[in-house]
Amino acid sequence: MFHWLEKHPFFFAVGVFLVISFAGLIEIVPNFAQASRPVIGTAPYSTLELAGRHVYIKNSCNACHSQLVRPFKSETDRYGHYSLSGEYAYDRPFLWGSKRTGPDLMRVGNYRTTDWHENHMKAPADVVPGSIMPAYTWMFTNLADINTAYAEQLTVAQFFSTPYNKPVPMKDGSTKVVAMGNNVTEANAMALEEAKLIAADMKDQDVKDAVANGQIPEIVALIAYMNSLK
């Protein structure tokens, strides 16, 4: 067999290619599968956070902000630990981005607060002098789409086995359970309870009143999503 291959260079080259390809797959695939599993501390998005993620995408925030900290000192000094594959296990679609008109937001929840986001979305240049980001004042009156967020939860729970209503290990050794309602009415009620906690840290009285009346403005959902990015 080997003598025959030595006399036929083309088939010998094909054989070498196949052996190297197979060996490469054996080496790469198991490690890739392990790296893509959720890392400790990564939990699914709540209904309100998913609604905020939809607001983020709808307003093209991902066109100017990336969510990918690269493994360079200049990046980690500014944004924190570089991103790991497993941190995106529950992201559909990924929002890595390739352009930074504004800063990376992968870990914005570690250093920005609810009131900071509130003021920044109302008047970016007043919070960050020289900012070219436009004001997103309509988010304070438009209502978040909780029903669509709940529909996404149902889909990912069924087809991707996303662990809703199950304990997820956190970095401090504790566990976290992200609850998903049994129906859309429960989902809206749970999102509203989460929204009340965020609205309590906001200054806009119209937003506070809306939440108190059972409505969830888009700004509340967006801030919930921003606060989840850590």
Same domain, 100 and 190: yes
pLDDT at 25 over 80: no
Same domain, 195 and 119: yes
Residue 11: inside a domain: yes
Residue 40: inside a domain: no
Q: Cβ distance 124 to 134 under 8 Å? A: yes
Same domain, 164 and 217: yes
Same domain, 27 and 125: no
* Rounded Cα distance, 29 and 58, in Å: 35
Same domain, 16 and 51: no
Same domain, 6 and 96: no
Domain total of the chain = 2
Residue 41: inside a domain: no
Residue 42: inside a domain: no
Same domain, 18 and 58: no
Q: Which of 96-100, 137-141, 162-166, 197-201 has the lowest mean pLDDT?
A: 96-100
* Residue 222, domain CATH: 1.10.760.10
- Burial pattern 32-45, b for ≥16 Cβ within 10 A else e, equals eeeeeebeeebbbb
- The pLDDT value given to residue 2: 65
Residue 131: inside a domain: yes
Nearest by Cα to 36 from 81, 82, 79, 90: 90
Same domain, 102 and 65: yes
Q: Cβ distance 200 to 117 under 8 Å? A: no
- The pLDDT value given to residue 39: 87
pLDDT at 193 over 60: yes
Across the chain, the runs of DSSP E, i.e. the strands, are 167-169, 175-177
pLDDT in tens, 28-77: 655 555 555 788 889 999 999 999 999 999 999 999 999 999 999 999 99
- Model confidence, pTM: 0.85
Same domain, 169 and 66: yes
* Rounded Cα distance, 68 and 121, in Å: 22
- Burial pattern 145-179, b for ≥16 Cβ within 10 A else e, equals bbeebbebbbebeeeeebbbeeebeeeeeeeeebe
Same domain, 23 and 75: no
- Structural domain span for residue 173: 47-228
pLDDT in tens, 115-164: 999 999 999 999 999 999 999 999 999 999 999 999 999 999 999 989 99
Instruction: Count Cβ atoms below 10 Å from residue 194 Cβ, excluding itself.
Output: 18
Same domain, 201 and 109: yes
Same domain, 186 and 99: yes
Please state whether the peptide bond connecting residue 93 to the residue before it is cis, i.e. omega within 30 degrees of 0: yes
